Amino acid sequence: MGYCRIAAPLLLAAMAVFPGLASAQRSVPHLEDLPRRALDTLDTDDENTKIVIYTNNTWSYYYTDLDRRVDKSVYHDHWVTDRVFAYTDIQLKDLPPVMELKLIERYEDFHAPIVGKVYSKYGRRGRRNHKGVDIPLQVGEPIYAAFAGRVRYARFNSGGFGNLVIIRHENGLETWYAHLSRCNVESGDYVSAGTVIGFGGSTGRSGGPHLHFETRYYDQNFDPEHLIDFETGDLRYHTFALEKSYLNIYSRASETLEEDGEDYERMLLATSDADGELTSEEIVNNITASEQAAIKREKAKTDPLYHTIKRGDYLGKIARQYGTTVKKLCQLNNITEDTIIREGRKLRVR
């Protein structure tokens, strides 16, 4: 990860913080060179939300209660370390239409959690919701904090995430890293972008080694591919306008990025091939490890099993050893309780 990771087109794209304005910006070149000074402020329907117009023809939302939002109290309020959800008293309907998330100031403020192809995307998966992205990995690969922040949760989660790390960032965003072979941080730790927060694994409900990565705001999930191009390890925005409509399992980053224009054509090419039906590999991976183990156990129960008689063996002892009864052993081998069993003979026990 060098500083070159954020490519020039992405810097340009970062200017287009607000998708609705992207087309207007593209028609006038080099707007990013113009001074960006506030020109005017407009009211909106929400008394706490204003629109600021800048001299370089861009605009942004301004929240009159912004201080409260970005205050370091973010690391103390709604601070829950033993449950994954922290904002149970705040509903989706309570959130504003657009939330401006300042992601980085300098290039080193971001580090891809892992670089690799997303083989299972955010969205509906059959009858289940897949609330993050899956990136295959080797067990033990380091997993990095995407941004600076404070670790809120770092423990084994019995709900299916396995070893799970949740980091809260100063802008309120939370990033989730699941199925780790082990956590490398503890709740309460402050981390920088690029801190190794754990190691890749397959703990919890996982069909094979992969990172399940989620991005959440006030517990509400959105497609992590809005923020990160996992295949290149690039961050897409310096400041991200999180629209409320993105906080929805049916809202996918590829659709929004497509509207943003040509700059993302390469990215779309890289990600669109997985949009269709599940591949057989995904289906296999979706069968959980525990389900696979259960199938194996079930199958094993019906397979015949044999025991070779050793010195000192007798029917009662063998029955106990295999969790069966003398009567069953006799039936299976067509013998009686009085039959003398010789050393070396194979006895069917199941």
Q: Cβ 299 to Zn ion, closest distance in Å? A: 27
- When the beta carbons of 10 and 114 are compared against Zn ion, the nearer one is 114
Q: Cβ 242 to Zn ion, closest distance in Å? A: 21
Kindly state whether residue 212 participates in binding Zn ion, applying the rule CB under 5 A.
yes
Site for Zn ion in 241-270 (CB under 5 A): none
Yes or no: say if 254 and 128 are a contact pair by the CB < 8 Å rule.
no
Q: Cβ 130 to Zn ion, closest distance in Å? A: 6
With CB under 5 A as the contact rule, the residue among 5, 15, 60, 134 that binds Zn ion is: 134
End-to-end CA distance of the chain: 57
- When the beta carbons of 16 and 133 are compared against Zn ion, the nearer one is 133
Q: Cβ 147 to Zn ion, closest distance in Å? A: 20
Going by C-alpha positions, the residue among 36, 44, 78 that lies closest to residue 61 is 44
How far apart are alpha carbons 263 and 22 in whole angstroms? 11
Q: Cβ 212 to Zn ion, closest distance in Å? A: 3
Single out the segment in contact with Zn ion by CB under 5 A; choices: 40-48, 204-212, 217-225, 239-247.
204-212
- When the beta carbons of 212 and 238 are compared against Zn ion, the nearer one is 212
- When the beta carbons of 26 and 125 are compared against Zn ion, the nearer one is 125
Yes or no: say if 166 and 174 are a contact pair by the CB < 8 Å rule.
yes
SS (H, E, C) 5-61: HCCHHHHHHHHCCCHHHHHHHHCCCCHHHCCCCEEEEEECCCCCEEEEEECCCCEEE
- When the beta carbons of 5 and 201 are compared against Zn ion, the nearer one is 201
Single out the segment in contact with Zn ion by CB under 5 A; choices: 43-51, 138-146, 159-167, 212-220.
212-220
- When the beta carbons of 81 and 202 are compared against Zn ion, the nearer one is 202
Rg (CA), the chain: 28
CA dihedral (247, 248, 249, 251) positive or negative: negative
Site for Zn ion in 101-130 (CB under 5 A): none
Paired tokens of 33 = 């060179």
Q: Cβ 204 to Zn ion, closest distance in Å? A: 10
- When the beta carbons of 62 and 119 are compared against Zn ion, the nearer one is 119
Q: Cβ 305 to Zn ion, closest distance in Å? A: 37
How far apart are alpha carbons 190 and 194 in whole angstroms? 12
Sheet of 38-43, strand order: 38-43, 49-54, 59-63
- The residues binding Zn ion (CB under 5 A) are 134, 212
